[in-house]
A and B are shown apart, each in its own frame.
Chain A
């Protein structure tokens, strides 16, 4: 198409983002900025116990309290919900059982927040305390009481095993087998905006929910389900999101509650969570214990890997089934790995539910994999960058688990950070106390399948144009700060030869915009972008056909550029964009077009092959420089170099912003962020409570802690992506944590095999080193998890067809589970 033949005028140009003005003038309206006449306010009563049965709830005093309009309890919500069809295990208000401190049990709607807060204190809930399951070891050891009455068995939510080629055989033939265990502590998104929602009944009698959500479409479906109201009678508007990072992906209890209250009262009902409540809503990074057994040849090639993971899921399913897969499925995408076995188990515990956070399930194994590679490189005497360069996956390769790599600039990313950081003159050469570490990673550009099974588009875009020259683009995609509105405007503007300021963008409104699945899995640029490209191309063809008549040329020779429409090689004949649109409206009638996108079919056919495939993968490499004070263990990071293969940047200013923002969040996870819990003393109920539900105590990096980040944008355009553009929102976080750990090793010679890497852990390892013990802090063992016998799939190069290996009788060949040789 000719739009791609001309030089880019919008794509790749640094620009003020389309929502930049509104965000700097205070005009951008977040959910809590909205108010409506007759609006009343909602507060939730939350459980003080981590695990208890609800014996009775007496709301009579709260109902009688002056200024109270409505009190709701679990009885008002008979239908459960959940983001995934296999985990519909939440109720808006807990009917019988609370599963973590902070689980909502009742709601009060009152004239103002103060009255609602006073009234929830008057609700009398009688709880019968149940045994608290506090961590995965306890969940495995205690099948009873079950936190949920579904799942694999006892308190195991998900349990799975896949083997791609005979891994034990590969390990047995390897020159070396490295065995390492790692722990990645949980952490939370900490978006600056606390979730807020405003539900109302519009003039047409339909329910409107304006809310901070990343996924208005999935929320829309779940609201219809819970409220038992047809989806067509409900409109969800995703308001401006004050940061998401995955924390606003799940449909949330408070969204259901205010919707029900608005339907009951017939007046607007608003809720805004306190910061403490945001910590209970959570859905953040799963704590994951991991064991890697990796075979290597003397010349630094991987021969096989056996990866085991154990996820602490918290009290509900959330995205857990997907999170469980993601602790392994992307592991083979960065480096050639002939055989791969992956066992994963997610357990329920009595803590706020874990879910998707930036990188969703993949930062944990990426941390382990990249730290282990650093150990491998040292043992083999190979430079860590050279080791990786020798094994990076190739363009369009298939992995052992049947993912198709597509374009890759990983080698270039590694070369860039090596060059820019002066790696070769620093690694193992800096004075004691200073060091550099390197790591690399990959991420998806959108999940290959929808969260609920269907064959419909993943993204739809509608374009409206008229004789005024106005171009309006509508899409269900959700701006969460990542700049998706600007990407949408840019793609349309590029095709039509206009500027982004000439495009009006309307997104995230289920009442008006075509369906887009939401802002998760780094899918928006690729999926929304491809849909926009199709819609804009269709409209462009109409305009070109009409303009060609007036320009006395052929439609395919019409050029759209800088607000003008003209014939190729004949600039004398030119019309303005508005004149061309007018000609098209005259010729064809009212103008408009739609575009849609669904990802390509994945090569894997085995059950479970749906998690991991993506239209494309982004790649990142990172070098971290660290200084460690041996007296205090204090870690300072003076500089980070990162190179990210984005395919093509739509707006380089904001690609750089996404990259630095990801690095920032990764560095916070590496050094300080943790979702930690403690038990209250017995006289205070022994409850398992969140240690730090405040922004003061949940440490995150300030401007003083954050180093300068050197960003190299590497562009290997991917044919599956709009103008070749891949993702930038999640990938750049991934290599930071292992690069920090590797830099600390280079600085002071201690291995911290868990995050966060805090000064006390560094000091403990330094003390071990001084005593001549193994200078390492990290998990000492991996528990006996009852993983199932693996689904066995042959890798592509061993004659597999992408499906599970079947015997002559057509039944899957299940091999007996072989315990690790070392066990």
Chain B
């Protein structure tokens, strides 16, 4: 017979700076809760085994594979997803550079790439090309051949370094 479904847990997750109450089965990954319970489908899945990086989000500012993170463990932590990148209608410099420089073709790896790049630029505002390639080496892209992604991150970094 069917194993009885485990009782949902009920807790508050802080996603993109906004606390939100959410109820979900305790075995669910952060990826599943974001996509299925919070309707934040901008975060993608390519393997659900931690192999491809499509599901990368930031947890307390550090890139994390949401497909390998239990949502339960994320209570009280700061979760950032692609939906929180833009400032109102203004694209984040990384988003603008990806759109302008060919950093996004099919767009499926883009969310994970953007979040990984954001964490890098927050640590290192002026990374070398080699450092950029290292930072995104866990994010698989099948369209671009990475060159234009690296260029987009460089362009965004330059934009972000400009005095405001």
- Chain A positions within 8 Å of B, measured between CB atoms, are 16-17, 19-30, 32-33, 35, 65-67, 115, 118, 189-194, 240-245, 274-275, 480-483, 653-654, 656-658, 660-665, 694-696, 700-704, 706, 708-709
Contact = CB atoms under 8 A, between A and B. Distances in A.
Contacts of A664: 144-146
23 contacts: A20-B98, A20-B99, A22-B107, A26-B40, A26-B41, A32-B41, A118-B3, A190-B142, A192-B109, A192-B141, A242-B108, A243-B105, A243-B142, A275-B46, A657-B102, A661-B144, A695-B52, A696-B47, A703-B141, A703-B146, A703-B149, A704-B137, A706-B133
B146 A243 contact: no
B110 A703 contact: no
Q: Which among A16, A482, A656 has the greatest number of chain B C-beta atoms within 10 A?
A: A16
B65 to A, nearest CB: 12
A304 to B, nearest CB: 37
B143 A656 contact: no
Given A274-B48, A660-B148, A21 B105 contact: no
Contacts of B100: 16, 20, 653
Interface in B91-113: 91, 94-96, 98-111
Nearest to A482: B105
A238 to B, nearest CB: 13
B134 to A, nearest CB: 7
Contacts of B146: 664, 701-703, 706
A702 B137 contact: yes
Contacts of B145: 660-665, 701, 706, 709
Given A20-B99, A242-B106, A65 B2 contact: yes
Interface residues of B, number: 61
B106 A695 contact: no
A27 B102 contact: no
Interface stretch (B7-15, B68-76, B82-90): B82-90
B107 A19 contact: yes
A665 B99 CA distance: 22
B85 A25 contact: yes
A190 B47 CA distance: 11
Nearest to A19: B107
Contacts of A30: 41, 44, 108
B121 interface: no
B95 to A, nearest CB: 4
Given A696-B49, A700-B142, A709-B145, 7 more contacts: A22-B107, A24-B114, A35-B36, A118-B3, A240-B106, A657-B144, A694-B47
A698 to B, nearest CB: 9
B18 interface: no
B122 interface: no
Contact of B91 (A21, A192, A480): A21
Contacts of B160: none
Chain A interface helix/strand/loop/mixed:
loop
Contact of A240 (B54, B81, B107): B107
Given A26-B81, A694-B49, A653 B102 contact: yes
A516 to B, nearest CB: 19
Contacts of B99: 16-17, 20-21, 23-24
A21 B103 CA distance: 12
Interface string B43-58: 1111111011010000
Nearest to B25: A114
A245 B141 CA distance: 13
A245 B82 CA distance: 26
Contact of A694 (B51, B85, B133): B51
Contact of B83 (A25, A66, A275, A482): A25
A261 B148 CA distance: 42
B46 A192 contact: yes
A19 to B, nearest CB: 7
B106 A192 contact: yes
Contacts of A702: 137-138, 140, 146
A483 B2 contact: no
Contacts of B54: 192
A189 B3 CA distance: 38
Contacts of B52: 192, 695
A695 to B, nearest CB: 4
Given A275-B46, A656-B148, A657-B102, A703 B139 contact: yes
A658 B105 CA distance: 9
Given A30-B108, A481-B107, A656-B148, A192 B142 contact: yes
Given A193-B108, A702-B140, A704-B133, A67 B148 contact: no
B157 interface: no
Contacts of A481: 105-108, 143
Contact of A23 (B49, B110, B147): B110
A326 B111 CA distance: 37
A206 to B, nearest CB: 25
A242 B109 CA distance: 8
Interface in B105-130: 105-111, 114
